[in-house]
Chain A
Amino acid sequence: MKFGVIVFPGSNCDHDIYSVLKDTFKQETVKLWHKSTDLEGCDFIVVPGGFSYGDYLRSGAIARFSPIMNEVIKHAENGGYVLGICNGFQILTEAHLLPGALLRNNNQKFNCKNIFLQATSQNSLITQNTDRAKAYKIPIAHAEGRYYASDKDLNELIANDQILFRYCDKNAKVTEESCPNGSKMNIAGICNKERNVFGMMPHPERAADDILGNTDGRIIFESILQLVNN
């Protein structure tokens, strides 16, 4: 499987995810410049974290109109896999590949810390290896991570089992206090109805290498790589 990491002006987690996929998990991985219109035959596209276009106007709003995004949208519509992390999640909501929007954190802070995640659904490529009863310690680093969707969209997310991750306490209990940003229903990550487009605010690529002292994020990449191993 070939991975492609999109690079926008202002992306800053592009090399982290590139390094995890290429060096840690030994996968063929390329970086794709946002002005390109060629996905170079990649099967799995990652839209990385950062501050594309300086977060001007709204996080992800301008990146959504970069030339390569038309190809990413086509790829997704044809069933190809797309994962957006942090700013990548914001870009995918702006592109309407995922429902909802990410608003300014309710506490007005840039939250940069480890949080605990419950993998709410195991029914997706990126969570199939996870354990719902376990709390995964994964870092977040964002100012606009308050997931918001209309009640109608939230009900659809629930009905279609599209909520993949929720903020929780260290015992994997979803509580109001464990939500760092005011997200509706503690939502930290979702997928689309077709289950090929994924978005999450936390950074699993920052918790995937022994040298970083936390490898809780590896389970997400191991889940994805089931595709290769099977």
Chain B
Amino acid sequence: MERTVDWLVVIPLAPLLAAVINFLFGKWWIRHRAHWIAVPAVGVSFLTSIVAAWTVLSRHERLHQPLYTWIRAGEFHVPVELVADQLTVVMLLVVTGVSFLVHVYSIGYMHHDPGYYRFFAWLPLFVFSMVMLVLANNFLVLFVFWEAVGLCSYLLIGFWFRRRSAAEAAKKAFVVNRIGDFGFALGIMLLFTSLRTLDYHAVFEAIPQLSSGTVTAIALLLFTGAIGKSAQLPLFVWLPDAMEGPTPVSALIHAATMVTAGIFMVARAHPIFLASPIALWVVAVIGALTAFVAATIATTQFDIKRVVAYSTVSQLGYMALALGVGAWIPAMFHLLTHAFFKALLFLGSGAVMHAMHDELDMRRMGGLKRWMPLTYWTFVIGAAANAGIVPLAGFWSKDEILVGAWVGGAPLLALVGLVAAFFTALYMFRAVFLTFHGQPRFDPHELHPHDPPATMAVPLVILAIGAAVTGFLGVPPETGWIHHALEPVFESATHHKVSLSLTLGMALASTLVALAGLWTAHAAYVRGTISPAAVAERLGPLYRLAANGWYFDVFYQRSVVRPLDAAANWLWRTVDVGIIDGAVNGSARIVALTAQMWRRLQTGLVANYALAIALGTVLLVGIYLAFGSTLFR
């Protein structure tokens, strides 16, 4: 059922207006009152999303609001329409809900920043772009806002633009994402040239007409976009650097929402992927590898935000794995729970940074538990949820992904996921113990850590509650609330029968693995029975591989960036200036030399030159008439 409504547009419009107002009037007029514009606007958006979600989920109908025709050229026709189905409203709730909390948190966190108004212009701009991405009704509009969230990411990573590191990270994020977008754009072109439409519904209807090669090409090209946006192997390198942005940005954009756009897009386009087993297989393998590789890197980092960032990459890998094995609902379920516990972890790290005067290195922390109990307990909840400890949110969703992989015909990938789960628990509790336990490794007389003010504390508590309980949306497994809610969207997908023994077995296995990780972290960083330094020494090259992010950055720098720069330079000096312009100037010189001989003709009178030009023209025309035309024949 589809119902046309006229209020859906409020969801994107409110934050857009807030962004425009703060951008235009913020610097000279609104200044430190900017949050009074932005926070209510996002609140309105959130409330409207709740209404939309309630309507869609309770009445089982799709909401639809046509806006206007954007592009029309021949048969290429792109209308802008908002559509909300079950998948959309779940995303809307996550996006606007977490956005609202992060906005509130930022009032306290960004309080003293001279760019306060700018922050509260870009942040609602992001909310606008993200909800439009979710509400889009065709692939090109999706792409437009896909790039728009990329722009917001650029603006917010580079928020402290006077720092070289921030400017570099922002640029890197945009350019690396553009590599993914290159594939995405080609996928859209191929879709249109094959089907003459970009409308979701029409495309999915027409998929069976296409050859399997074309479908696979389209699916893989679209997934290339997801690899960039959702930081999958091998394009994940931008996300850890994106931590140069203010911490609320890391929480909202680079953990809870924007980076999940790739996952959302694949879920949205699932009929295309379902038509191509090869593409699904690629998605699953890349997801599993990403989950594993990023987890190993996270285990070796000392910067608290980078640990959480690599953890994000790893969790996104789990989601991609779920998509690839056809576990569509578990993927969205994990997206939902992850949004809560990862936003919580980032905001918690932000509270720590706030208390520690922007210190990020966990080697200079320790023992913070006694000064920051609220931050500690919320952070522990987030960490345990991320590590998949029963009964917190991450446990339920991750478990379902592993079960899905097992029954989806990829038991090997399920095992990779289990190994990654060990590292997940290890790095998460390593971070907890290094930061909050033990003796302070800083001077407590100089720094006086303390829990954050109310505007920051309340979002932490709400997110902690979310991280604790959202998992129950998926209980009992396979038939929870989330499954019923999303079922209509993924009707076409095949459903595997999952036996109770398998569910329990996998739950037991993943719990044991998580506890093993927790125990290892405890042994290494609390009891001291394992020496991390000795282990690192022992592992040698393997440790260095992980500590250096598997050398992806080095590889890109050496094999792409520098060679391309060198090639461009060579092209410029040799081909452009040397050969092409050389030929031009050379012929000019020949003319000049000839002219030296003819210089007696040079009178300096313009009239003579005009005459010469005219004569030359006549000559050329004459030559043509004599030889080229049929006039004299």
Report if A and B associate in a common complex. no
